[in-house]
Amino acid sequence: MIYAKSFTAGLRPDPLLSVSEWSDSHRMLSQTASSEPGRWRTDRTPYLRKIMDCLSPSNPTEKVIFMKGAQIGGTEAGNNWVGYIIDQAPGPLLVVQPTVERSKRWSKGRLAPLIDDTPCLRGKIKDPRSRDSGNTVQSKEFQGGIVVVTGANSAVGLRSMPVRYLFLDEVDAYPGDAMGSHSTC
């Protein structure tokens, strides 16, 4: 029965819904993580619409590069994409912040509130306190996927993670090489 359910879930094509449409319908900005808490409105930052829509599975774009100023919603656009993936198009996702310490801060300060305050995501990731929750600061499992969070300074953290989605945030702060590692295999 579980096999049949998983098999049919795997056959289902990705939704036509775009990341900006999903965000306008579902995303809530939390009190603890946003300067303007409440319902997300793409109209508030319209320049993010096309960027988010290029991140949608229905769009053929494979790589999106956002060259930007400070504090204009770059991370939030990526956070919307993360919410969309968990809710609509599950798969393995790797999120990289400049350092492991910063990745933990993003997970606790941005990802946890995103999950807690967006109703359609709340039931998809178990409470970290429950047994076998699959929910830790650096790794959160959900049906059909997993979010792994690491730092660009950790060669080990970047290894052995076959992903469908890769979110590289604050790239300008990445070290030139991870832990002095020059290994290529």
Ligand X SMILES: Nc1ncnc2c1ncn2[C@@H]1O[C@H](COP(=O)(O)OP(=O)(O)OP(=O)(O)O)[C@@H](O)[C@H]1O
- For ligand X, the binding residues (CB under 6 A) are 29, 34-36, 40-41, 44-45, 68, 70-76, 170
Instruction: Quote the least distance from Cβ 78 to Mg ion, whole Å.
Output: 8
**Is residue 88 at the binding interface for Mg ion, with CB under 5 A as the rule?**
no
Instruction: Quote the least distance from Cβ 134 to ligand X, whole Å.
Output: 27
Looking at residue 135, what DSSP letter applies? B
Strand partners of residue 28: 39
30, 34, 45, 75: which one binds Mg ion (CB under 5 A) = 75
Residue 82 interface partner, choices Mg ion, ligand X, none, CB cut-off 5-8 Å depending on type: none
Instruction: Quote the least distance from Cβ 97 to ligand X, whole Å.
Output: 10
The one segment of 6-14, 28-36, 72-80, 117-125 that binds Mg ion by CB under 5 A: 72-80
Looking at residue 43, what DSSP letter applies? G
Instruction: Quote the least distance from Cβ 50 to ligand X, whole Å.
Output: 14
Toward ligand X, which CB reaches closer, 41 or 164? 41
Toward ligand X, which CB reaches closer, 38 or 123? 38
Residues 28, 40 contacting (CB under 8 angstroms): yes
Q: Which of 17, 129, 5 is nearest to 80 (CA)?
A: 17
3-state secondary structure 146-176: EEEEEECCCCCCCCCCCCCEEEECCHHHCCC
**Is residue 34 at the binding interface for Mg ion, with CB under 5 A as the rule?**
no
- Distance between alpha carbon 116 and the CA centroid of its chain, in Å? 14
Residues 48, 77 contacting (CB under 8 angstroms): yes
